[in-house]
Structure 1
């Protein structure tokens, strides 16, 4: 059995790790790491360009749990929701369009609230 892939996401005010599932998109992301991008925010979601272009998977979802690591195929971006977005109904995390689900943030996804639009973001593999 393969060791789960872990990534570290860092920005000026903090960092967190996430565990990725074994999906085609997660594998593509892992091969592209490390990457540095610029954070953008949309409601209680942080997203940033990855330079990766992948297709939407058949199980892509638009409404996800807080702390889901998602890939927005329409924007070639990693999407990290931690609360409601401008199109959410109630407290749900509703993404801009269906996204590939890659895994989950380890610990408190609320830490993402310290990310500011324009912050540099670095994503790298955590050495096993």
Structure 2
């Protein structure tokens, strides 16, 4: 599944794998939310509640589309967070892995806390 994540200053697309979490997310699209930022990570509520999957990870590559089960949120890291060691992308806790941002994840740097965010299928 491909999704588009839009905010006032830009947008990215992402390709998601077939996982239980991506299927649950797909059922609520399109969705609108308010962006939060945490270091070089954007996250926002989805209204979806799912359990942590067996392959959940806390340290991921920039541009990973992750689902933070503790906050029912999409987590989109593009660089270090406040708990990272060096340049790694370390999420607040292990997250379900959904897919990858297409193109440069650094585009997410233009998202500001409080920005309206929309997620829809492409």
Question: What is the TM-score when the length of structure 2 is the normalising length?
Answer: 1.00
Residue aligning to 1:61: 57
Q: Secondary structure at the match of 1:62?
A: strand
> How far did residue 16 of structure 1 move?
0.6
1:88 aligns to 2:84 (yes or no):
yes
2:98 to 102, 111, 116: 102
Residue aligning to 2:121: 125
Distance 1:121 1:109 in 2: 16
Q: Deviations over 1:12-68 (max 9, x none)?
A: 000010000010000100111000000000000000000100000010000000000
Question: What is the TM-score when the length of structure 1 is the normalising length?
Answer: 0.95
Distance 1:108 1:32 in 2: 26
> How far did residue 9 of structure 1 move?
0.1
Structure 1: which 5+ residue stretches go unaligned?
none
Aligned residues: 122
Residue aligning to 1:18: 14
Structure 2: which 5+ residue stretches go unaligned?
none
Residue aligning to 1:37: 33
